[in-house]
Amino acid sequence: MEFAPHYLEPSTSPGQWEGGGSWTPSSWASGPWTSGPGAAGPWVVLRGGAGGRRTDGEDGVPGGAVLLDRDAVLVADIAYNGDPGRVYPRPGAREAVAELRALGVRLGVVTDQPGVARGSLTRPGIERVHHRIEELFGPFDVWAVCPHRPADRCGCRKPAPGLVLAAARALRVRPERTTLVGGTGADLVAAASAGAHGLLVRPDNARPGELAVAGHRRAADLPAAVRLLCAAGTA
């Protein structure tokens, strides 16, 4: 499978959501493109044609999108992994993604990769890992990557809303029609800050504070999360 990304450049111009309404730079919270000094990002990769599909359901495709955290939700969480040979899908994750894709749901991946800022990862290494993930899972409509450390004070590292907003904008899907399935409380806070929905998976590994943030929005794993989304009519 060929991985041919189209890189989106940061934008501060007003624009239109499909289905009506508009965004302005001030409506993006602190702006997903707002990063600390010398800290460019986030990196947004949109697959060809993904941003041009309708998102209002009039063509038979459900409106909205599901964004997935990468590590510990889609694949095993291996710190600073730039080796595609060490990409291991989580149990049932491939089938869960296939179920969402069969429903016509827009799919994206949002991931914090601070190893870039720390010098442990490179952009080509991350892209090789993402290529391998797409070989295993099939294509995702958008990838949004934060390459910063917490000290960079960027606007995209979760729990900041930038990754969610950047992915939604790339897909031309309103944040309130977007659900982020994540593995930490930071994912849920990022979703809420962006005006999106959040769902916590693997709650047995969560900290007490993260469970408090999640409330009833939790599932044992990605397959269970997909069942919840389908039952709620979110997917």
- Cβ neighbors of 224 (< 8 A, separation 6 or more) are 201
Condensed to tens digits (0 to 9), the pLDDT of residues 158-180 reads 999 999 999 999 999 999 999 99
pTM of the model: 0.79
Domain limits, the chain: 34-232
Give the residue with greater pLDDT, 16 vs 213. Answer: 213
Torsion of the alpha carbons at 225, 230, 232 and 235, rounded to the nearest 10: 100
Alpha helix locations (H) across 36-184? 93-102, 115-118, 123-137, 162-171
pLDDT score for 41: 73
pLDDT score for 36: 45
Q: Residue written as tokens 């994750």?
A: 93
pLDDT of 123 strictly over 90: yes
Condensed to tens digits (0 to 9), the pLDDT of residues 49-73 reads 554 444 444 333 346 899 999 999 9
Phi, psi (5° rounding) for residue 217? -85, 70
CA 223 to chain centre: 17
Phi, psi (5° rounding) for residue 12? -120, 15
Confidence of residue 233 (pLDDT cuts 50, 70, 90): confident
Cα–Cα distance between 70 and 110 in angstroms, integer?
7
Cα–Cα distance between 233 and 235 in angstroms, integer?
5
Residue positions annotated with a catalytic role: 69, 71
Classified as helix, coil or strand, 22 is strand
The domain 34-232: what is its CATH number?
A: 3.40.50.1000
Phi, psi (5° rounding) for residue 71? -80, 130
